[in-house]
Amino acid sequence: MKKLPFRAFLLFGALAAATSASRILPGGTSSMVKRHEEWMAQYGKGYRNAAEKAQRFEMFKSNMEHIERFNARKREYWLGRNQFTDLTNEEFNDIYLSGYKCSTSSRATPRNFRYENVSVSATNLDWRSKGAVTSIKDQGQCGACWAFSTVAATEGINQIKNGKLISLSEQELIDCDVNGQNHGCNGGLMDYAFQFIIDNGGINTEINYPYKAADGSCNSNKESNSAVKITGFEDVPSNSEASLLKAVSIQPVSVALDGGDPNFQHYAGGIFTGPCDTKLDHAVTAIGYGINTDGTKYWLLKNSWGTSWGDHGYIMMQRDIDAAHGTDHEKAVIAGFPSIWSIGCCHFGIPHSTWRDIIDGETP
C-alpha cells in the first residue's frame, strides 16, 4: 500500500505560515489557518516540518473552499471535512482506492438466480435495525476494502440464518488468503475471499484474529479456528437493479463502486447522485434501500473508512436512474466486469456475489 507522498516544494512564507500566520495573513486565510489547526487536533494529524505543513494547509484550504462552494447550492447531498481533507483527490485515489481488483476472467451470469421470484414489498429496509450489521470499521491505509466487504456480507448472512451477530476477521483474509489473486493490503476481490472462507472451513472472529491494517504472516492456529462457515456464493444478474433489490431484501450484499470523485472523498450526508465513472475501485456492502420523503430512491451502503467519513461511516446512493452510459457499460464489461450496472449515476459491480449459498451459512 502506498504511503502518503511527500513532495518537496518552495512556498513563500512557509515558515511564517507555520509560526505566526494569524498575524500576517488576510482575515479569510487567517480563519482558514485556525480551522486547519482545529482539524489537525481533531484527527491527530502531524507533519514532518513547516514546508510539509504549509503544503498540506494549501490542500486543506482548497478542499474546504470546494466543500463550501458545493454546499452553498442546495442539492440532494452535502459535503464536509473529514480525515481526507488535506489530500488532493489524486492522493486520495492513490492511497485509499487501490484495494478493489477486478477479476481477470469473466464468469457467466447464473442461469437460475436464487432470488428471481422474490417479491419485494417493503419500500424501506435497513439491515442495521434487524441486527445484521456490525459497527463501522476502519481499514486505514491498507487497501483491504475487499476483505471488509467480504466480512460484512458474511457477518450479515450468519446473523440472519443463526441469530448471532459476530464480528469476523478481515486480518485473517489479508494474512492467509494469499495463494491466489488476493494480495492483502495491495488489493483483492470478494469472490476469491468467499472461496477462501469456503475452502478454509470458515473464518475466525475479529477478537481472536484482530485487525492490524498491515500485511502479516498467516497464523495457522487462528486460521483453523473458525467461528462462521459459508457454503457458496452467486452472481447477481448483470445490469439489473431489480435483481440487486431482491438480493438486498434477503441479505447484505457486497458491491464494488467508483469512489474516485472529490465529492465522494468529502461526502457527509444525503443521497449521493454523483458524479462518478465506470471505473470500479472500491468495495463496500449494500445493507439496505429506501425512498426519501421527496420520492428519491436510494441504496444504503456500509463503508470501511471509519465513522468520520460520510454519514457516520455510511452513504446513501441514488438508485433506479437510467444512466446515459450505454457505451461505458459495454467498455466496463469488455474490461472484465461481468456484473456491472448503473445504480443511480454510478456503476456498481457485484463480482460473483449475491451469495446464492451463503444463505446456507452456519456457525459451528
**Residue positions annotated with a catalytic role:** 145, 282, 303
Q: What are phi and psi of 333, to 5 degrees?
A: -65, -40
**Exposure of 236 in the CB half-sphere (CA atoms within 13 A):** 28
Place of cell 447477481: 236
Residue 36, C-alpha cell as written in the block:
486547519
How far apart are the C-alpha atoms of 277 and 257, rounded to whole Å? 9
Residue 195: HSE in the Cβ half-sphere, 13 Å Cα cutoff:
13
Contact indicator for 301, 315 with CB cutoff of 8 Å:
yes
The closest of 158, 152, 109, 139 to 351, measured between CA atoms, is 109
Euclidean distance between CA atoms 188 and 179, whole angstroms: 12
Retrieve residue 284's grid coordinates: 463496500
Pairing of strands 314-318, 282-291: unpaired
Q: How far is CA 337 from CA 34, 141, 281, 330, 340, in A?
A: 46, 25, 12, 10, 6
- Show Cβ contacts of residue 210 under 8 Å, excluding neighbours closer than 6 positions: 169, 171
Helix (H, G, I), strand (E, B) or coil at 80: coil
Amino acid at 35: R
